[in-house]
Amino acid sequence: MAASLSRPCFLSLHVPYGQGCAQDLAAAFRFQPVAVRETPRVRQLALRRGAAVFLLNQRLAPAGISNHDFLYDVDPRPTLGTASNVCLEVDDVPGLCAQLQSRGCTLPVPPIEVRDERGSVTYGVVSSAVGNISHTLLDRSRYRGPFLPGFQPIRGAPPGDGVEISHFDHITYVCPRGGTQAALEWYQLCFGFRHFSLSPRQQPAQGFVLGGHGAGMLLRALQSSQGCGCKLVLAESLSESIPNQVDTFLEQHGGAGIQHVGLRTPDIVSATRALQRAGVRFFTPPAAYYSQGGKEEEVRGAGQDPCTLAELGILLDTAVHGDSGHYLMQIFTHPLFSEETFFLELIERHGAPGFGEGNIQALWKAVHWLLADAQGMRE
């Protein structure tokens, strides 16, 4: 791997013609519009909070045969909303693109230079091995503007709502059944990413199995060898009977893709409160999540208040790294589009590097408990 890939520059969302986001990134999440590009056919808006940047792509006209007009991205021709591109900063775009091509990768956009009065950038776009996901590979070391050439800066003060979001913590993909291994190998081979162990007990070849009794999912994780700070999580369903969140995504998205992105915050309680007040809708776990199996003691042991977490719906996980005093807290939003597909997560870490594997297990138990209760079957 000669070229060095570093942190994500932006994550690109596509909204179909005539539709908006069910949960608005600017109005509800208070992401700050920083730059815009408009052509007769498309509008591209860059929205920022900390180092987390979304590029929101909207069509201003129905999809035609050749109306690809999106700069720094490819057109996923969506009939539904999708998050389909992760832009990564790279120091040698032509070099990496040549390597990828020699490995048989598809490059919908070969390396190209774009410039304006603030400098120039080079980018190319490669299709990944997973669903509709592509990667824009970007070198902006020669650019001094607030976003990218071709975009007009939007000036304005950052929102003073007390919500601190520092960066994209992780991006979670839904893979087809049996598809996480091939995806893992693609990122290792093409981008030089390293496998990231979710548990000290996990064998890299097996992945991390959650749930059980024919109802679980398999997780694998990767991180850039440059330590870009943002990890990739690959999820596939193992469920044989009741469809889980991963099955629902595949069905409603029409195939594999980006399911959610974790936004890192140093204060999840304040961030959740402020975003709830601004109209963001979060998933609230069943009350049983907070009462089952010593959760209250676990929350107190981590120095957090169980009532506050329960009131807001925040999950706390010490499961895998519990013995070292490390933990994380997380909360998931409702989907951003009208389908049950892409959503956001807030995550606050206290030394725990995982992804709330214990929470997924605990949520399953809580939901199972509720179902059993409703059917009068609880022991």
User: What DSSP character marks residue 21?
Assistant: -
Binder among 34, 233, 269, 310 for ligand ENO (CB under 6 A): 233
> Whole-number minimum distance, CB 262 to ligand ENO, in Å?
5
- Identify which of 86, 76, 136 has the alpha carbon closest to the alpha carbon of residue 258: 86
- By CB under 6 A, residue 138 contacts ligand ENO: no
One of 122, 245, 265, 333 touching ligand ENO (CB under 6 A) = 245
Binding mask 293-332 for ligand ENO (x = CB under 6 A): ----------------------------------------
The least distance separating ligand ENO from the CB of residue 153, rounded to whole angstroms, comes to: 33
Residues 172-201 as x/- pattern, contact with ligand ENO by CB under 6 A: x-----------------------------
**Which residue in 66, 59, 14, 16 sits closest to 39, CA to CA?**
59
Cβ-proximal residues to 172 (8 Å cutoff; 6+ apart), any chain? 232, 233, 234, 235, 258, 259, 260, 261, 262, 355
- Cite the DSSP H helix spans in 208-305: 245-253, 268-277, 288-291, 295-301
| Between 364 and 369, CB nearer to ligand ENO | 364
Q: Interface with ligand ENO includes 84 (CB under 6 A)? A: no
Find the largest Cα–Cα distance for the chain.
70
Contact 71, 44 (CB under 8 A): yes
- Smallest gap from Cβ 371 to ligand ENO, in A, equals 18
Total residues interacting with ligand ENO, rule: CB under 6 A: 11
CA pair distance 242, 134, nearest whole angstrom = 31
The DSSP symbol for 247 reads H
> Which of residues 61 and 242 has its CB atom nearest to ligand ENO in the complex?
242
Q: Which residues in this chain contact ligand ENO in the complex, by CB under 6 A?
A: 172, 219, 233, 235, 245-246, 262, 345, 355-356, 360
